[in-house]
Amino acid sequence: MRSSIKADCRPRGSRASPPTNADVWNRVDELAQRDPERIRVDVAGYSGQGRRIDAVTLTDPAVSDDLKQHVLIVAGQHGNEESGRLIALELMDQLLADAHRQTLRQQKIVVMPNVNPDGAEEDCYATPGGVKPNLDHSPDGPTIPESKAVEVIANSLCPDVFVDMHARGHAGCSYDMVLYPDTRPYTEDDNLFHQIAAEMVAAGEQAGLPHITHPLTWWTKPPHDACTTTAYAYRNFKSIVMLTESAEANSHSYAPALTAQVGVARIMALLAWGNRRHPKLYYPGYPNMLVLGMFSVALMAVGRTAAQRRHSRVEIWRQRAAFQSLRPLLPEPPDRKTLLVDYDGPPLQHGVGLMLRAAGHRDIA
């Protein structure tokens, strides 16, 4: 039986296809020089072999960060999946166009285009040490610097949206995918995630490639799936989480320009959600501000600014187990709707909102 390293890598000395590590670093530096006001490059950490892991922030500095929603986009966790790096570079380039000025005014977008540069150097799925960075996010914390770098940035952002970009190795010239994790039962999350994924799929298909979408059901049950990057983002921040897969193989794939075009199109469809208001919600922006419950009865994040609502969302979400009951009193009399909330946890410092929907005008007790 071959070892996992040999099975996942080309023979030592071979190199991944473009964009290589040098291609990524050079392009990131070029973009930062082109628009230093709207791009900031930070080093989130260093790989096991000492290569830099960049976190590239794109936003409009004329607008306070307190007014912006946060997005984290990660690519290159698997070193032999070139299309993730390719799409990340093209996305950053296109976000600087005039057509997307409003997005950068309303959102702070951080792109990590090459999380596993050691794997990229060897055209290796995992790190050279055999660890898959996307599976190194257990509740006990990461074990390698690559996944630690992702968590450092995620913890600083508490992102409203988290995107993990991958490629379907050994499945070149097939279809692309938009996937999302299992969500908490009896919330709107499954409905919302599927709706958002469907719009991303439609945008990708309009851009030129067939797509499918479904939950991330190929993972085995816990504890394995609890260690994925996507589960980590949902578990800790109630991020809207999407995992994308591009059709790619070393032997044959779609043209890089088409792969990049399609990948950017679906991400732009996702980002558009942050520029509008869901018709059933009070605040504009991403609909994860509905923290617990359904549109009929829910606990909502509150605050005058995006930053305040983010603090409220994360605090409510992290105390979700302390909400023993959230339900209307039934049967409802014709002139009144009563909401029962049973909370057994520490005081909430950032506020909590109650959402009720009822026909006509009613008093609320």
The conformation of residue 12, written as its DSSP 8-state character, comes to B
* Over residues 260-279, mean pLDDT: 97
Question: Could you tell me the pLDDT band of residue 223, with boundaries at 50, 70 and 90?
Answer: very low
Contact 209, 171 (CB under 8 A): no
| Average confidence score pLDDT of the chain | 90
Q: Strand, helix or coil at 322? A: helix
Structure-token pair, residue 232: 């980590």
Distance CA 184, CA 177 (A): 22
In one-letter notation, the amino acid at residue 146 is E
Identify the pLDDT of residue 103. Answer: 97
CA distances 218 to 132, 135, 179, 227, Å, are 16, 14, 10, 14
**Farthest-apart Cα atoms in the chain, separation:** 75
Residue 166 has pLDDT above 70, yes or no: yes
Residue 17 has pLDDT above 80, yes or no: no
* Over residues 2-22, mean pLDDT: 56
Nearest to 261 by CA among 196, 210, 201, 208: 208
Question: Could you tell me the pLDDT band of residue 329, with boundaries at 50, 70 and 90?
Answer: confident
Q: pTM score, two decimals?
A: 0.93
* Over residues 162-185, mean pLDDT: 91
Identify the pLDDT of residue 143. Answer: 95
Which residue has better confidence, 139 or 57?
Answer: 57
Question: Could you tell me the pLDDT band of residue 214, with boundaries at 50, 70 and 90?
Answer: confident
Question: Could you tell me the pLDDT band of residue 15, with boundaries at 50, 70 and 90?
Answer: low
Contact 152, 44 (CB under 8 A): yes
Structure-token pair, residue 303: 């605050």
pLDDT digits (tens, 9 = 90+) for 90-110: 999 999 999 999 999 999 999
Question: Could you tell me the pLDDT band of residue 334, with boundaries at 50, 70 and 90?
Answer: confident
Residue 11 has pLDDT above 50, yes or no: no
202 CB-near residues (< 8 Å, 6+ apart): 269
Identify the pLDDT of residue 170. Answer: 76
Query: Of 74-83, 111-120, 169-178, where does mean pLDDT reach its minimum?
Result: 169-178
Structure-token pair, residue 138: 């257990």
Question: Could you tell me the pLDDT band of residue 361, with boundaries at 50, 70 and 90?
Answer: low
Query: Of 243-247, 283-287, 319-323, 324-328, where does mean pLDDT reach its minimum?
Result: 324-328
Identify the pLDDT of residue 168. Answer: 86
> Tokens 């007790």, residue?
365
